[in-house]
Structure 1
Amino acid sequence: MPGPCPDAPEPVPGRCGVLEVPENRAHRGGRTIRLAVVIVPAVSKKPADDPVVFMEGGPGGDAIDAIPFLIASRVNQDRDLIVMTQRGGPYSQPHLACPEIDRFQAKAVGLPYDAPSTGRLLVRAAKECRDRLTADGIDLRAYNTTENAADFDALRKALGIRKWNVYGYSYGTDLGLTYLRRHPRGIRSLTIDSVVPPQIVSLPWTWDSAREGIDAIFAACEAQPRCKSRYPDLHRTLTEQVRRLEAKPLRLTVRPPGGGDPVKVVLDGGTLVNLLVADGRALPAADVPAALDELARGNPERLARIRAAGATPAIGEFAHGLTHSVACAEWVPGYGKSDLLEAGRRAFPGWPDTVLAHAPQLPFEHDLCRVWNVPDRTAIQRVPTRSKVPTLIITGTFDAKTGASWGPYAGRTLPRSTAVLIPGIGHFVVPQSPCAQRVLASFLARPTAPDTGCVAGLAPAPFTITPDPERT
């Protein structure tokens, strides 16, 4: 179990080790894989004996990279914090990176988002990655949420922990709920932040979340007199810009936000939607009304620069192989392209079909999954979790990736759950909200009676208000 700390960009705090598990538990005597483990000690000199184990999002995200956010959120204040890389994720062996897809994404900033020619390039890059991974002997069928949950159960047993507290965000909530369903022993409490219910997640589901998050941002602007006056009827503005850009994409040359050489970018309707649905770090929700207003007035510079940032991805770091192994087995099957398009039309009537035919953040996924070629696991995975384990459900109103209402939806079968809605926050709530951090700390101390009092006084922060060029 003890081992070297991952060679991350920032020093890794705490004790490090490696968990070795079977790649495919259905095939006894097969190859094994290695998962990096970090134990961050509690700040308290007398920590509780039930640690917190963290489950990263993605799938394919960097769990080690999340440690500074978790420490800053005081997750390890009174308990040790345990972080393990998921199978196929960064710092695991093997790491299911796809530099072929990273290089495609770097080129894609200068391509129409949803053009068939762009899709063919993505599918070709995915096939090249899949062929390389399978030639190395990797069994992509084994990189799924069932095996991932079994890895965490194996970790708890290897560490000799009787009870621990599980905290997952985004895909980590899908994993956490699956883990609770399949391995309930040893779980004192579960916290799910930005919820992906395993029984409902699919490509059409992404359009419901996008609509909910965008609606919430626009409603919050409407509720602030200065924002309402300066940016009236944002729904109409967004629809007009999506239609205009899809009919006649803008082609610009701009410098990325971090500096460097100018980059050629294309802004079309699909690009605009995906900039809004992304996690909010590049385009904060507070800036969305101003960015749309600038675009409508013929100034696309802000959005173009954000798009240009994609021209310099971290090649070979994100585990796209894990993303598509999970998505193609668990999220895509059962719903065809027509179902996805219909969900988009319900969410955003009047938008072009070329935009609505692609799930936000997962364009051309049906085509990609044909070449990724992993078996359908929905019968195993698309199941609600029913449990009396105390559960804290945290969602943010501005989350356009995993809409806020999906938290209470997951809580329907969790009778001892507490749902907390944080206004004005997007994806991955706890690191962004001091109130959510206090609620989490209270829940870990008293899972059946957390103190949620701070939520009542919350409201979205003021939106960015730029000068009106017609009045200056």
Structure 2
Amino acid sequence: MPSVERYLALATCVLALGGLTTACSSDQPEQKGPVGPVPQGLDRFYGQALDWGECEPYATSEMARSSFGAEGLECARLTVPLDYDEPDGPEIELGLLRHRATGDDRIGSLVVNPGGPGASGMLSAASMAGPTADTEIGQRFDLVGFDPRGVGASEPALECLTDNERDADRADDVEYDGSRQGVRATEEEERRFAAKCAERTEHGEDMLAHLGTRDVVQDMDVLRSVLGDRKLNYVGYSYGTRIGYTYAERFPRNVRSLVLDGALDPEQDSVESLVSQGEGFGKSFEEFAAWCQERSGCPLTGDPTKAYQDLVRPLLDDPVDVGGRVLSYDDATTGTIQALYSERMWPQLKSGLAELSQGSGSTLMALADMYNERDSSGNYANTQDAFVAIRCVDDPPVEDREKIRDAQRRYAEVAPFLDPGTRPSAARDACAFWPVDSTSEPHLPDVDGVPPALVVSTTNDPATPYRAGVQLAKALDGRLLTFEGNQHTVFLQGNQCVDGAGARYLIDGTLPQEGKRCG
């Protein structure tokens, strides 16, 4: 079975919405803070001016370059302390992107985070700006995305693997070897990865120690003040829900509204999250297979799980050449899961599997590249590096080999299409070799005094199971909005029922009725 690290990474939610529009940028630095309470010693951060300007210089990827040039977008850098316990020590900068409210009756800023951990909030906001510009939300709120510390355009950026090393890592399926030799080889790779992150990232271990959610929510409170908002309005997707409820726990009096879509279960450790996620992908594969079998040319004939395994398992020993690269088993399954995030990608997955049955891996490789954020020039965003680094500092490592092995077995039971047919591996992931301690652990958030949150959960969400949203809404004393569908997250993606309920909540605080469902 794949390592815990590999398939926890599949919870990454990177929104790619189209249709960007309109614009302006400031000629002079803009100072709106400090607003609201300011922690001792942080006055200069909470009151800093932002120098908004063109966004193209902030682009660190091919997708960002194509998105950041749209009219109506402006970007700036926010300065924050590397270590909030030492505000006079080293400083770092976060990349910000904003699309101003298009109406006259502005409420404030709406901060968004797309999840990951490690996904770019700037890119997410850029993608959402056009589709929301003429909606109630776009008219009443400035849409603001930020790249969390170490991510994307934020400086310094986390650096672990080079582009060539990432290609090589994807082509190597050693983590599926559960023998003693395979476990040793896998753990040696994980150990080297952790060491490279510390060696190649500016500020080294100090930076790694302060990449986690604990520090990100403090950055977000600085951002709230600098934007001129007494209280925070926030939309978080997937891992972004953890940022949201952690912010509410840390700054309960600074919250106006929270929309949390595709929730993580706050009590689950990484092993239980792996198994829960497997359930989601297992159900999504069943839905896809049923859809596929109703259409001509579907390669999943007979038992779809066995048909899929017969297609991808041979790649463990005999990967397929794709223009000088090779489609590994890991790439094929990653490409499959990328497509399972949304029904809109099912036709592409069907084509990719049909191609693989004929010995071609081009489409599945393209899907895997999309997930890994590898552009046409072979350059990677640092999302995957950041995912590992943030997770390792957020939660204690899983050291119990039998627990790891048992999780692999259980994963194969709930997502049998992803069972490689090899001995489950007990290899520990990079977090077991992380050079700094973790800063938090799974727990129910204590959010007394926080306004009720709106939690959106999708019945067949492959990456964050529906029941996690149910549990989070209860923990936050919030309101659950159910979407009946097959995709990962839904708010502000064109569903009028969900978007309308979210807009009413964000604009005037009206929660949807108890038990409301959208389809």
Residue-pair matches, total: 438
Q: Is the 8 A contact 1:43 1:77 kept in 2?
A: yes
* Equivalence map 1:177-188=2 (5 Å): 177-188=245-256
Pair 1:175-2:243 in alignment:
yes
User: Aligned partners of 1:157, 1:290: CA distance in 2, in Å?
Assistant: 48
Q: Which residue in 2 is equivalent to 1:64? A: 122
Pair 1:160-2:220 in alignment:
no
Offset at residue 332 of structure 1 (A): 5.0
2:110 to 43, 46, 52: 52
Q: Is the 8 A contact 2:102 2:139 kept in 1?
A: yes
Q: Which residue in 1 is equivalent to 2:51? A: 3
Offset at residue 415 of structure 1 (A): 2.1
Which range is displaced more, 271-280 or 32-41? 271-280
Q: Is the 8 A contact 1:204 1:340 kept in 2?
A: no
2:481 to 393, 407, 419: 419
Q: Which runs of 5+ in 1 are unaligned?
A: 255-261, 359-363, 459-472
Amino acid at match of 1:89: V
Q: Which residue in 1 is equivalent to 2:6? A: none
| Closer, same or farther: CA 86–292 of 1 in aligned 2, 3 Å | closer
2:172 to 111, 132, 155: 111
Deviations along 1:416-471, one digit per CA (max 9) or x if unpaired, are 32232240223565436454333322332343333799954x3xxxxxxxxxxxxx
Q: Is the 8 A contact 2:230 2:254 kept in 1?
A: yes
Q: Which residue in 2 is equivalent to 1:327? A: 391
Q: Which residue in 1 is equivalent to 2:409? A: 345
Offset at residue 407 of structure 1 (A): 1.3
User: Aligned partners of 2:103, 2:254: CA distance in 1, in Å?
Assistant: 23
Q: Is the 8 A contact 1:328 1:372 kept in 2?
A: yes
User: Aligned partners of 2:385, 2:359: CA distance in 1, in Å?
Assistant: 37
Offset at residue 321 of structure 1 (A): 5.1
* Equivalence map 1:110-129=2 (5 Å): 110-112=171-173, 114=175, 116=182, 117=185, 120-121=188-189, 123-129=191-197
Q: Secondary structure at the match of 2:466?
A: coil
Which range is displaced more, 82-91 or 389-398? 389-398
User: Aligned partners of 1:452, 1:397: CA distance in 2, in Å?
Assistant: 16
Q: Which residue in 2 is equivalent to 1:41? A: 100
Q: Is the 8 A contact 1:198 1:384 kept in 2?
A: yes
User: Aligned partners of 2:239, 2:423: CA distance in 1, in Å?
Assistant: 24
User: Aligned partners of 2:258, 2:154: CA distance in 1, in Å?
Assistant: 24
| Closer, same or farther: CA 341–400 of 1 in aligned 2, 3 Å | farther
* Equivalence map 1:231-310=2 (5 Å): 233-239=303-309, 241=311, 244-245=313-314, 249-254=317-322, 262-268=323-329, 270-278=330-338, 280=340, 285-287=345-347, 290=350, 294=354, 299=359, 301=361, 302-304=363-365, 306-307=367-368
Amino acid at match of 2:437: P
User: Aligned partners of 1:68, 1:271: CA distance in 2, in Å?
Assistant: 28
1:450 to 494, 497, 512: 512
Q: Is the 8 A contact 1:174 1:196 kept in 2?
A: yes
Deviations along 1:32-85, one digit per CA (max 9) or x if unpaired, are 2222333321122322x2431112422222211112322244152321222222
Offset at residue 334 of structure 1 (A): 4.5
Pair 1:407-2:477 in alignment:
no
Q: Secondary structure at the match of 1:449?
A: coil
Q: Is the 8 A contact 2:105 2:140 kept in 1?
A: yes
| Closer, same or farther: CA 67–153 of 1 in aligned 2, 3 Å | same
| Closer, same or farther: CA 225–281 of 1 in aligned 2, 3 Å | closer
| Closer, same or farther: CA 101–409 of 1 in aligned 2, 3 Å | farther
Q: Which residue in 2 is equivalent to 1:392? A: 454
2:154 to 89, 92, 102: 92
Pair 1:226-2:294 in alignment:
yes
Q: Is the 8 A contact 1:52 1:81 kept in 2?
A: yes
Offset at residue 118 of structure 1 (A): 6.5
User: Aligned partners of 1:406, 1:427: CA distance in 2, in Å?
Assistant: 13
| Closer, same or farther: CA 428–24 of 1 in aligned 2, 3 Å | farther
Q: Which residue in 2 is equivalent to 1:461? A: none
Q: Which residue in 2 is equivalent to 1:470? A: none
User: Aligned partners of 1:56, 1:311: CA distance in 2, in Å?
Assistant: 14
Q: Which residue in 2 is equivalent to 1:441? A: 503
Amino acid at match of 2:333: V
Q: Which residue in 2 is equivalent to 1:18? A: 77
Offset at residue 23 of structure 1 (A): 1.0
Deviations along 1:216-258, one digit per CA (max 9) or x if unpaired, are 341465489936997554344345556x437x5332222xxxx
Q: Is the 8 A contact 1:51 1:81 kept in 2?
A: yes
User: Aligned partners of 2:425, 2:257: CA distance in 1, in Å?
Assistant: 39
Offset at residue 188 of structure 1 (A): 1.4
User: Aligned partners of 2:420, 2:95: CA distance in 1, in Å?
Assistant: 45
Q: Secondary structure at the match of 1:195?
A: coil
Identical residues among aligned pairs (%): 20
User: Aligned partners of 1:355, 1:447: CA distance in 2, in Å?
Assistant: 52
2:379 to 307, 315, 321: 315
Superposition RMSD in Å: 3.7
1:102 to 163, 175, 178: 163
User: Aligned partners of 1:311, 1:65: CA distance in 2, in Å?
Assistant: 12
Q: Secondary structure at the match of 2:139?
A: coil
* Equivalence map 1:136-147=2 (5 Å): 138-147=206-215
Q: Secondary structure at the match of 1:185?
A: helix
User: Aligned partners of 2:87, 2:366: CA distance in 1, in Å?
Assistant: 51
User: Aligned partners of 1:43, 1:136: CA distance in 2, in Å?
Assistant: 42
User: Aligned partners of 2:488, 2:153: CA distance in 1, in Å?
Assistant: 27
Q: Is the 8 A contact 1:397 1:426 kept in 2?
A: no
Offset at residue 339 of structure 1 (A): 1.9
